Structure 1
Amino acid sequence: MVDFGFFRGFVTSINDFLTGQNAENEGCFKLMTVEDGTGAIVNFVVAPETYVVDQEIIGVGDRVTGYYDRNAPVPLIFPPQYRALVMVKEIPGVNVKADFFKSQLVSSDGMLQVNLTPYTPILLANGQPFTGNPANRNLIIIYGPSTRSIPAQTVPYRIIVWCSE
């Protein structure tokens, strides 16, 4: 189970990130610097396997949310540098939450409950249909309006099942 942490802000720079492993990887990894407007800065390493919601192209000035694994080792440098698992380019009216969803499809922080319909697309990260039960899994929920209750309830536009090795 991934313990998703996140950081939200504006992209201030995007550069190639050199892994030093081999020349074939040159240009495949990006280092995105994100600032939240209060002075906090995070660098995200965006790898070819990073899930970018809707495959949106992210540019300098875009408001983004980067999700990372809180339990993954990180170098002790400033600004903090995390390997991005999920990147979201924020679009008005569309919300995204990556988290572990329990048996009743309530997020681990208790802030969002997902209500499924027979028409809710449930997909794998590669776009293929997921045929199992989405409960008790790491999910990326893409949704619009929600109730103002706690937990907020929503019928998502789609669900991405985050299968980790």
Structure 2
Amino acid sequence: MRQPPEQTSPPDGEETPEGEATPDNRLRKLRHDAFRLLSGSAEEARHASGDGMLMVDGAFVAVAPRARRHGAIAHDEPGMMITAEASYRVESATLPRVRASLALAGELLLRFGASIGCNAQGGITLNRWLAARHLTVDRLAAEITATRQLQRLIESAPEGGDGSSLR
């Protein structure tokens, strides 16, 4: 019978015996500091960090430490997942609205390394994963804002549009 591997480091989010922060703790602090920069309020940043999301330009943007899994090929790569949600749900949108959004989204997804998803309530989400090794507080704050702006751009695609305005 196969035994689970022995854990040589503490679980994500915990400190090592020497008091050193794990990568997950470092990313949570980075997120808090970026939320502080964006909100301008220590109190709001504290609440937003607890929830993992911040109101940006009228909508919540979730930011969570998330490793990119490489399986047996290589070690997992620590990073942050940024998720911005559209203001409409798929089932309540018209077909031309969804078609226009997806036509515009295709090119933006390629240019900005993003993906489209759907949350449990049927809301369309725009997701971007960023490697931790490249993140600073300023860069994370800028990427949070950029992700929200990309989501708004996709959401505001004119019905009947084909995304060709980006070419």
TM-score by length of 2: 0.28
Q: Which has the higher helix share?
A: 2
TM-score by length of 1: 0.28
Q: Which has the higher strand share?
A: 1
Could you say which structure has the greater relative contact order, defined with CA pairs below 8 angstroms and 6 or more residues apart? 2
